Copies of this chain bind each other. A is one copy, B any other.
Amino acid sequence: MAAREAFVTLATNDSYSLGALVLGHSLRNVGTTRALHVLITPGVTQAMRTQLSKVYDVVTLVDVLDSQDEANLALLSRPELGVTLTKLHAWNLTTYTKAVFLDADALVLQNVDELFDRDELSAAPDVGWPDCFNTGVFVFRPSTQTFHALIEHAVQKGSFDGGDQGLLNSFFSDWATTDIRKHLPFIYNMVATVVYSYAPAFKEYGKNVKIVHFLGSTKPWHQQAGPSTGSSAVLGNFLQMWWDLFNSHVRGQLEGNLAGLAGSF
C-alpha cells in the first residue's frame, strides 16, 4: 500500500538539493515512519537527482510553466512568484491524505511524526511579524481544489512579500485568531537567528528544539562550521550538526563537482 502521509520538500537547483539531502538524512536518523518526498524542477542535474532518490522515497519533477493553465497565467501576470508557485505544487501530491512541508534549509533533530496529528494549516509563528506563520514548516492536506484556489488567490491578490509566505498567510488568513492547535510550538521551526534576539528564552527552551530552520540568505552549505563561524557558539552548534550529517552521509556519495558545491559559495 502506498504511503498515506509524507514529509515534502522542494529543491529547484543543486545548491538547495544539498539542503534537501541533509534534511532527508536527518529525518531518517530520527526514525520517521512517514514517506519522504522531494519536488524538483529541471534546474536540478541528473547526478543530483540520483543522489536525492537514495534518501527520498519519491522524487517528482514539477515544471510550473508546463503544468497548469492557471500557473501559466499567474506567471505571466506575476513573474516574481515563480519559486512561490513551485512550492504550491505540494498541494497536488494527492496520494497523501496529509503532509508536512519542510524547507530544504531545515534540519530535524528529534522525531516529529506527531505533526501529522495536526490539521491544515498548522505552522509556527514568524519572528518578524508573529501573527504571520513561517512557511518553512507547515502541515497541509494535499488537494487539487486547494491548489487551484491558491493559484487563483496568487493571480488575484499577489503576495504581500513576493514569496510563498505572504501568499499563504493571506490565503489562510485566520491562522492568528482561530485555532490554537494550528499554532505549532516554536520548537518545530526554530529560526537559527533567534539565538541572538532573546538568548534567555533560548537557554530556557532551546533544549526542546526539534527542527532548526536556517532562514535567511546564508545557508549552512554556504559556510563551514567551526570556530570561523565565530559570533555564536550555539548557532555554531546547529551548523556543526548540519555539517556532521553532510560529512557522514552526503559528501562521500557525491561526485567531485557536486561535493564541491558545499562551502564553495
Contacts and interface: CB of A to CB of B under 8 A. Distances in A.
Interface residues of A, number: 32
Interface stretch (A29-37, A198-206, A236-244): A198-206
A261 interface: no
B185 A177 contact: yes
Interface string A104-148: 000000000000000000001111111110000000000000000
Given A129-B205, A183-B183, 8 more contacts: A129-B186, A129-B197, A130-B186, A132-B198, A132-B201, A166-B201, A177-B180, A180-B183
Interface in A201-243: 201-205
A67 interface: no
Copies in the complex: 2
B180 A129 contact: no
Contacts of A3: none
A61 interface: no
A257 interface: no
A162 B194 CA distance: 18
Nearest to A161: B200
Given A204-B160, A204-B166, A185 B128 contact: no
B201 A129 contact: yes
Contact of A180 (B124, B125, B160, B179): B179
